[in-house]
Structure 1
């Protein structure tokens, strides 16, 4: 078990290092002047030279890469050229919105998908099963930004129950902040719930046909007991995988929904940084989102080892 976790941790660190190298090469080493890109073609030579010196572009690329990694390791992510504040402060403020939004969306998706998937598996080939599969198809077909606009039109413009956008801040109270995140989380959760419901149904049906289920039923256990004690544990392996991937997507892929609801989250920060050509912020935010995706995959591997004994046996 320990050897397995050490190997996964080393793979995580190596993948993160390679991701940082790719991001650095794309933004600072490939043909093209980052300073020229930020200031435009009409910038004066002395202004370009000053910006290159400020960004460290007058140093060799390997030195710049190592200095960037060193700064990240010590918590120094540089200073935004647009906002003139440390990037770590910008990211910290935006993560305080994006992470709760992703967690709310994931919890909503789980709360909807688990009972629907179990219902569809228990009623396979019956109207309830067809209804769940129809919901899944519809959820996958509807873009989350379009669903967000519909939610805004219904609950904000027509009914007036929610604000149409913006975020009051956590200082306004937890209730007000969560209320502002409710509609965006529903918009994000629709497609994830549709995918997860299908996975839950398929995983339960696959395990329900195994020999251990027939043995448990032959011993007199009820269907509910077999499902609770045996099937769900084995069915959890693909479900955990999907949940991990979904959370990573919700954090890294909330750019469009955050722009629809004018939420000052991490996705909107990245969108603004790209629009304003603030490459320092772009570089740090892209690496952070990449690190989150890799970290979630690492945690999924750890959960594999806890749920399924086979990885532990293979690592011994």
Structure 2
């Protein structure tokens, strides 16, 4: 187990390093002068030179990369030129919204999808199975922002049960804050639940064909007992894979939904920074989102070892 964890940590470090190189290189190859892009063509030469020096653009590329990576390791992400604040403070404030939103969406996705997938597998070829498959098709086809608009029209405009947008802040209390996050979480969760339900159904169908499941049926166990005690634990590996990918996507892919609901989260910060040409914020946020994907994938690998110890031997 120790060797397995060491290999995963080394892979994590290498992948994270490659991610920083890719993000840095992509912004480096963007045509044009970043300082000129941010100030506009009417900027004075001395102002332009001062901004280039502040951004470190007057230094060689390797030096700029090493300084940037060093800042990432120490928590110094630079200073936003738009907000005139440290990027680390901006990210910390926005993560206080994005992380709970992603966690709520992930929990909702699992709570909706896993029972539906197990039900569809146990009723293979019958009406329940077809209903779950239809839900999966619709959920995959309809984007999350469309679900968000429908939820606003139904539960905010028509019924008035939830706010249509905005965030009161955690200082207003957990109740109002979670209420403001519920509709965005549902909008994010529904497409992911559709995917996860189909994966759960396929994994459960494969498990239902195993001999030990037939033995459980032959012993006269109830359907619910067979599904929960025998089928679900052995179908969790592909489900855990999708959950891990969804976790990373929900953190990195909430840009549109956060803008629909005007939530001041990390996705909205990235969207605003792109529109304001604040490349320091864009570079830092993009690499943090890439790191979240890398870290979540590593945690999924560790979860494999906890669910099924056999991969430890193979890897």
Q: TM-score range by the shorter chain?
A: over 0.9
* Residues 107-142 of structure 1, C-alpha deviations (whole Å, 9 max, x = no match): 111111111111111111111111111111111121
Partner of 2:81: 81
1:138 correspondence with 2:138: yes
Partner of 1:195: 195
State whether residues 29 and 61 of structure 1, in contact with CA within 8 Å, keep that contact through their aligned partners in structure 2: no
* Residues 165-186 of structure 1, C-alpha deviations (whole Å, 9 max, x = no match): 1000000000000000011111
In structure 1, distance between residues paired with 2:224 and 2:194: 24
Partner of 1:96: 96
1:203-218 alignment, distance < 5 Å: 203-218=203-218
1:187-266 alignment, distance < 5 Å: 187-218=187-218, 221-266=221-266
In structure 1, distance between residues paired with 2:150 and 2:220: 50
Unaligned runs of 5+ in 2: none
2:235 alignment partner, SS class: helix
Moved more, 44-53 or 21-30: 21-30
1:311: how far off?
Answer: 1.4
* Residues 206-255 of structure 1, C-alpha deviations (whole Å, 9 max, x = no match): 11112332344456655444333332121000000000001111110000
The alignment yields a C-alpha RMSD, in angstroms, of 1.4
In structure 2, distance between residues paired with 1:220 and 1:159: 47
1:72 correspondence with 2:101: no
Partner of 1:166: 166
1:41 alignment partner, SS class: coil
Partner of 1:156: 156
Unaligned runs of 5+ in 1: none
Partner of 1:301: 301
Shift of the 162–218 alpha-carbon distance from structure 1 to 2, 3 Å rule, reads closer
Instruction: Report the number of matched residues.
Output: 315
Partner of 2:9: 9
State whether residues 255 and 271 of structure 2, in contact with CA within 8 Å, keep that contact through their aligned partners in structure 1: yes
* Residues 81-132 of structure 1, C-alpha deviations (whole Å, 9 max, x = no match): 0000010000000000000001111111111111111111111111111111
1:260: how far off?
Answer: 0.3
In structure 1, distance between residues paired with 2:277 and 2:47: 16
Partner of 1:48: 48
* Residues 139-171 of structure 1, C-alpha deviations (whole Å, 9 max, x = no match): 112111111111111111111112211000000
In structure 2, distance between residues paired with 1:216 and 1:309: 23
Moved more, 212-221 or 261-270: 212-221
1:99-118 alignment, distance < 5 Å: 99-118=99-118
- TM-score, structure 2 as length reference: 0.96
